[in-house]
């Protein structure tokens, strides 16, 4: 008799809807504009906040709106070492300081970066988890491509115009602290998705008896079935 395995059961039901009602918002880089392409734009870190369901803290950075007389607040993934009141510079001519956003092609080889764009203008897709970072390996001025080493260890060739944040994502060492009790794991995954608790397959003892009964369900002799059960349990029996 067949059984629907765990992976198949997870796909059943309605389409999964992420638990985003209590989250602070999407953490992305600025929309690329004239100021970033040809110079830089200055922002200031207003606050560093916790985002439920995310390991890394977020930074609220206020920029001057280039088209209207007002401020525009962006949510950045906080780099380790930034603080409230710090100025953040975004653009081609920004300095190479922690938290600034520059094109990868303008950074020297060996620079530690995070929140890297996979394609120009996608506002950051790679190396975004807490404590993660990528490393600039080399540049090719002829093809306008750069080679970076990702947190997984794999190396990827991206366009030199792709932007990235200088530094390491804050919140590193999060997985080094033991959870210790089930209550903390419950609250951790409640903010993420329904994937806890996860029972090990080897701990499912009843499954063995169920398999035997499914094989011998047509056997009329119940005594023979009991003898098989005793044999599995290590009790000596005579057939």
Full-model pTM: 0.79
Query: pLDDT tens-digit profile of 134-181?
Result: 999 999 999 999 999 999 999 999 999 999 999 999 999 999 999 999
Q: Are 53 and 130 in a shared domain? A: yes
Q: How many residues in total does the chain contain?
A: 239
Question: In sequence order, what are the beta bridge partners of 61?
Answer: 45, 74
Q: C-alpha dihedral over 181, 187, 188, 191, to 10 degrees?
A: 170
∠ at Cα 131 (114, 33), nearest 5°? 20
Q: Are 67 and 155 in a shared domain? A: yes
Given a contact cutoff of 8 angstroms between Cβ atoms, the answer to whether 130 and 56 are in contact is yes
Q: Which of 125, 147, 175 is the last residue of a domain?
A: 175
Residue 10 forms part of a structural domain:
no
pLDDT at 2: 78
- CATH number of the domain enclosing 69: 2.30.30.30
| pLDDT above 90: residue 52 | yes
Cα 137 to Cα 102, 112, 132, 157, 164, distances in angstroms: 16, 10, 16, 10, 14
Query: pLDDT tens-digit profile of 60-93?
Result: 999 999 888 999 999 999 999 999 999 999 999 9
Q: Is the sign of the CA dihedral 77, 82, 88, 89 positive or negative?
A: negative
SS3 assignment, position 9: helix
Q: Are 141 and 24 in a shared domain? A: yes
Q: Are 96 and 202 in a shared domain? A: no
From 106, 102, 105, select the one nearest 40 (Cα to Cα). 102
Distance of CA 67 to the CA centre of its chain: 34
Mean pLDDT estimate for the chain: 90
pLDDT at 197: 92
Q: Are 184 and 111 in a shared domain? A: no
From 147, 134, 30, select the one nearest 89 (Cα to Cα). 30
* Alpha helices for 20-170 (secondary structure H): 34-38
8-state DSSP, 190: H
Helix axes of 206-215 and 222-233: crossing angle, nearest 10 degrees: 140
Counting the structural domains of the chain, the total is 2
Q: Are 171 and 210 in a shared domain? A: no
Token pair in block for residue 86:
């710090």
Task: Give me the half-sphere count of Cα atoms (radius 13 Å) on the Cβ side of residue 78.
Answer: 24
Residue 80 forms part of a structural domain:
yes
* Domain membership of residue 203 as a residue range: 178-233
Q: Which of 175, 192, 211 is the last residue of a domain?
A: 175
Q: Tell which wins on pLDDT, 5 or 238.
A: 5
Residue 131 forms part of a structural domain:
yes
Residue 206 forms part of a structural domain:
yes
Query: pLDDT tens-digit profile of 169-220?
Result: 999 999 999 999 999 999 999 999 888 998 887 787 765 556 656 655 555 5
> How many Å apart are CA 45 and CA 81, to the nearest integer?
12
Phi/psi at 214 (nearest 5 deg)?
-65, -30
pLDDT level of residue 18 (50, 70, 90 thresholds): confident
């Amino acid at each position: 008799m067949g059984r629907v395995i765990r992976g198949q059961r997870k796909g059943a039901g309605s389409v999964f809807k992420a638990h985003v009602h209590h989250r602070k918002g999407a953490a992305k880089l600025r929309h690329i504009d004239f100021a970033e392409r040809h110079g830089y734009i200055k922002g200031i870190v207003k606050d560093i906040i916790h985002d439920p369901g995310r390991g890394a803290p977020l930074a609220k950075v206020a920029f001057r709106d280039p088209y209207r007389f007002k401020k525009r607040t962006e949510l950045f993934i906080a780099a380790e070492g930034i603080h409230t009141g710090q100025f953040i510079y975004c653009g081609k001519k920004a300095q190479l300081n922690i938290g600034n956003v520059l094109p990868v092609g303008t950074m020297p080889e060996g620079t530690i970066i995070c929140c890297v764009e996979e394609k120009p203008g996608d506002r950051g897709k790679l190396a975004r988890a807490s404590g993660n970072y990528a490393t600039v390996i080399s540049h090719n001025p002829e093809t306008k491509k750069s080679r970076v080493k990702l947190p997984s260890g794999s190396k990827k060739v991206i366009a030199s115009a792709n932007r990235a944040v200088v530094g390491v994502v804050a919140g590193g060492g999060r997985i080094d602290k033991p959870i210790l009790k089930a209550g903390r794991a419950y609250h951790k995954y409640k903010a993420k998705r329904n994937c806890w608790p996860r029972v090990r397959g080897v701990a499912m003892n009843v499954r063995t008896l169920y398999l035997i009964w499914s094989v011998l369900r047509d056997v009329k002799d119940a005594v023979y079935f009991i003898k098989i059960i005793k044999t599995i349990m290590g009790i000596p029996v005579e057939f």
